[in-house]
Amino acid sequence: MNTKSGAVLVLSGPSGAGKSSLINKIIDDIGDCYFSISTTTRPMRQGEKEGVHYHFVTHEEFVKDIEEDHFLEYATVHGNYYGTSLKPVRDALHDGKLVLFDIDVQGNDAVKNRLGDITTSVFITTPSLSELQRRLQSRSTDSQEVIEKRIKMSRKEVQRISEYDYLVINDNLDEAAEVLRLIAKAARMKIPSTDINQFVQEWEDI
Ligand code: 5GP
């Protein structure tokens, strides 16, 4: 059986739920993986770096990439474009890596449609809406207007939790990270349907 097949782990959830902190906490413990760096038209936040947190581009550059079919998926979130470039993902999967995506509910939908049989999805959120509000306010990287947009969006996003395989409540960072580590390890074991057919055939022939 082809043991070099990669797998996909989609992480979604409201901004401020702690996705980035959780990813940083588990990334060294989950084996060979590739964190997909999205492209966005949103302005860079304080502390963010080009090519580390996102590829920051202009609206025109993003539209050109859409026209040239460079994206696995893209969506408009909080009024800005966000997209996942296809090529690095394809390469990482080919190398047998676990590909991690931090994308929204629309992105999860698109990835599921294209890579469903190797995709595991997790929705990460705070224990409550008021806790999310508190975290966004204390983060102080966004204006009040942006915070309000994010809160509004998060109320819509939680309505779609049932589209995910797992729900992780990030109340305690260490505990949530431990759960996510287990999910990531299991995600890697997902077998593409083509490999299952091959495995059954070989198993019967031996
Ligand atoms: P933020 O501006 O807080 O970094 O991200 C806002 C939202 O955009 C988050 O929910 C994040 O998961 C989502 N997002 C980031 N990159 C992508 C992407 O490439 N595609 C999609 N669909 N959503 C993304």
Q: Ligand 1 mean position to 102 CA, how many Å?
A: 6
Q: With respect to residue 19, please indicate whether it lies within any of the assigned structural domains.
A: yes
Q: 124 lies in a domain?
A: yes
The residue among 71, 35, 75, 37 whose CA lies nearest residue 53 is 37
DSSP sequence for 24-74? HHHTTTS-SEEE---EE-SPPPTT--BTTTBEE--HHHHHHHHHTT-EEEE
At 142 the pLDDT is 78
- Assess contact for 73 and 119: CB atoms under 8 A: no
| pLDDT tens column, 147-162 | 998 899 999 999 999 9
Which residue's alpha carbon is at the smallest distance from atom 24 of ligand 1? 103
Domain that holds residue 197: 7-36+97-204
pLDDT above 50 for 3: no
Q: Is the pLDDT of residue 204 over 90?
A: no
Residue 48 lies in a domain: no
Asked whether the whole model's pTM tops 0.85, one would answer yes
Whether 122 contacts 12, CB under 8 Å: yes
Q: For residue 50, give the DSSP letter.
A: B
| 182 in any annotated domain | yes
Does residue 70 have a pLDDT over 60?
yes
Q: What confidence tens digit (pLDDT) does each residue in 74-122 have?
A: 999 888 999 999 999 999 999 999 999 999 999 999 999 999 899 999 9
Q: What pLDDT is stored for residue 186 in this prediction?
A: 96
- CATH at residue 195: 3.40.50.300
Would residue 199 count as lying in a domain? Answer: yes
pLDDT in tens, 5-21: 799 999 999 989 999 99
Coil, strand or helix: which one is 51? coil
Q: How many A from CA of 172 to the centre of ligand 1?
A: 23
In-domain check, residue 148:
yes
Q: Is 50 exceeded by the pLDDT of residue 1?
A: no
Closest to 103 in 3D by CA, of 160, 37, 169: 37
Is residue 116 a part of any domain in this protein? Answer: yes
Ligand 1 pocket list (CB less than 6 A): 12, 15, 38, 42, 73, 75, 77, 82-84, 102-104, 106-107
* Residue nearest (by alpha carbon) to ligand 1 atom 11: 103
Look at residue 135 and tell me whether its pLDDT is greater than 80.
yes
| Structural domain total, the chain | 1
Predicted local confidence at residue 4, as pLDDT: 59
Predicted confidence (pLDDT) per residue in 182-199, tens digit:
999 999 998 887 777 777
Whole-number Å distance between alpha carbons of 5 and 170: 30
Examine residue 73 and state whether it is found in any structural domain, yes or no.
no
